[in-house]
């Protein structure tokens, strides 16, 4: 006999308490339906939350119930008829962490399971997470984190300390950081002049790596280079821009632009060691940032001064949570 169960919630956003709830429910029923209660006035778009729930719980069925302009409280007696409307088969178990579950289960002729009602295992709730996501970072599942996360990208000519600075910041504020994909690509590519399609491959590798690591990183995702810098590399290597590549640029919350006035360190994977070329590279990067209207801070001075300036930028970014909304929905 197949046992069915339902969970009702806003999941705005889902947190680790919700993850524990749904995983526990999976041991209590054979087939689970997650009812996502939404309204037109929700702080986080229903489509975003539906995608979160489907990816976090791929074996469950996620049903979105939009109640119009005004949210329908979980304890409202209308939920029984609503659930029966899209769940005509018998509901055996109603699972949740609040006492409204008891009456809802009675209405559905089901058994209730109230799990961790005092939130002792996972004390955070969705309202607290929304109001202070950085303060409740450990309560946010990895797949949900990029929505609230800020991204800080380091750009600059070669040998200006981008990788070093990304590593320093990640160790101080929480990592991992996103390493530059162009270096391993350069190391193993076939000799010869660069082709445009190779720059796209570099962007492919970098963006894929960034999406993976963002789920493991802290409130600030530190990134060593990005597609904007790859677009500048295209101009340096090919002698012209690549508009189709530039259409792939997704600006971070902020850039650190490292200037070229530090000693050059030899490296067989580096190209532009002459100071005039490094300055040309810097000017092209700055021009590209300005063209795209990017937010950035110039990082100059010796390495001690650079680190102090970078740390100050990060502390400023941490002082205010990201303004979340439709623009932050995961791709």
Angle at Cα 207 formed by Cα 202 and Cα 49, nearest 5°?
Answer: 165
d(C-alpha 215, C-alpha 209), whole Å: 11
Identify which of 258, 284, 262 has the alpha carbon closest to the alpha carbon of residue 273: 262
What phi and psi, each to the nearest 5 degrees, are found at residue 5?
-150, 160
Helical (H) or strand (E) element with 17: helix 16-28
Q: What is the pTM of this model?
A: 0.90
Q: For the stretch 147-166, what's the b/e string if a residue is b when 16 or more beta carbons lie within 10 angstroms of its beta carbon?
A: bbbbbbbbbbbbbbbbeebb
Q: Encoding tokens for residue 210?
A: 């960034």
What phi and psi, each to the nearest 5 degrees, are found at residue 151?
-120, 125
What phi and psi, each to the nearest 5 degrees, are found at residue 155?
-130, 160
What's the pLDDT at 120? 67
d(C-alpha 207, C-alpha 298), whole Å: 24
Q: Is the dihedral of CA 167, 168, 171, 173 positive or negative?
A: negative
299, 256 in Cβ contact below 8 A? yes
Q: For the stretch 209-222, what's the b/e string if a residue is b when 16 or more beta carbons lie within 10 angstroms of its beta carbon?
A: ebeebbeebbbbbb
- Tell whether omega for the bond before 155 is within 30 degrees of 0, i.e. cis: no
What's the pLDDT at 265? 83
d(C-alpha 98, C-alpha 37), whole Å: 15
The full set of domains in the chain, from first to last, is: 4-135 (3.40.50.620), 149-328 (3.40.50.300)
Residue 94, CA distances (Å) to 8, 9, 23, 25 in order: 8, 12, 14, 9
What phi and psi, each to the nearest 5 degrees, are found at residue 115?
-110, 130
What's the pLDDT at 62? 98
d(C-alpha 91, C-alpha 111), whole Å: 9
d(C-alpha 124, C-alpha 16), whole Å: 8
What phi and psi, each to the nearest 5 degrees, are found at residue 25?
-60, -35
d(C-alpha 185, C-alpha 205), whole Å: 9
Per residue of the chain (331 residues), what is the pLDDT tens digit? 899 999 999 999 999 999 999 999 999 999 999 999 999 999 999 999 999 999 999 999 999 999 999 999 999 999 999 999 999 999 999 999 999 999 999 999 999 999 886 566 777 789 999 999 999 999 999 999 999 999 999 999 999 999 999 999 999 999 999 999 999 999 999 999 999 999 999 999 999 999 999 999 999 999 999 999 999 999 999 999 999 999 999 999 999 999 999 888 877 777 887 999 999 999 999 999 999 999 999 999 999 999 999 999 999 999 988 876 533 444 3
What's the pLDDT at 117? 66
d(C-alpha 37, C-alpha 53), whole Å: 12
């Amino acid at each position: 006999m197949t046992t069915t169960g339902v969970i009702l919630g806003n999941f705005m956003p889902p947190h680790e308490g919700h993850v524990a709830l749904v995983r526990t429910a999976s041991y209590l029923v054979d087939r689970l339906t997650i009812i996502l209660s939404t309204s037109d006035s929700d702080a986080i778009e229903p489509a975003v939350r539906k995608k979160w729930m489907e990816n976090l719980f791929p074996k469950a069925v996620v049903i979105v119930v939009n109640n119009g302009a005004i949210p329908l409280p979980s304890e409202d007696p209308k939920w029984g008829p609503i659930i029966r409307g899209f769940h005509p088969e018998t509901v055996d178990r109603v699972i949740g962490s609040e006492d409204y579950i008891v009456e809802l289960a009675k209405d559905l002729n089901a058994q209730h399971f109230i799990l961790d009602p005092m939130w002792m295992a996972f004390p955070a709730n969705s309202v607290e997470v929304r109001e202070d996501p950085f303060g409740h970072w450990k309560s946010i599942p990895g797949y949900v984190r990029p929505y609230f996360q800020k991204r800080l990208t380091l750009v600059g000519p070669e040998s200006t300390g981008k990788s070093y600075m990304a590593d320093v910041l990640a160790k101080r504020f929480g990592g991992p950081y996103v390493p530059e994909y162009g270096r391993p690509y350069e190391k193993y590519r076939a000799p010869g002049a660069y082709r445009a399609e190779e720059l796209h491959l570099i962007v492919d590798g970098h963006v894929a790596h960034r999406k993976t690591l963002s789920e493991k990183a802290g409130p600030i995702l530190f990134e060593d280079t990005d597609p904007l810098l790859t677009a500048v590399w295209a101009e340096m290597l090919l002698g012209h821009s690549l508009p189709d590549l530039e259409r792939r640029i997704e600006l971070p919350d902020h850039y650190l632009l490292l200037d070229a006035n530090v000693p050059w360190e030899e490296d067989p994977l580096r190209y532009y060691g002459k100071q005039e070329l490094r300055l040309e590279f810097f000017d092209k990067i700055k021009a590209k940032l300005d063209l795209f209207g990017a937010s950035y801070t110039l990082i100059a001075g010796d390495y001690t001064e650079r680190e102090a300036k970078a740390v100050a930028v990060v502390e400023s970014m941490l002082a205010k949570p990201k303004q979340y909304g439709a623009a932050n929905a995961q791709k």
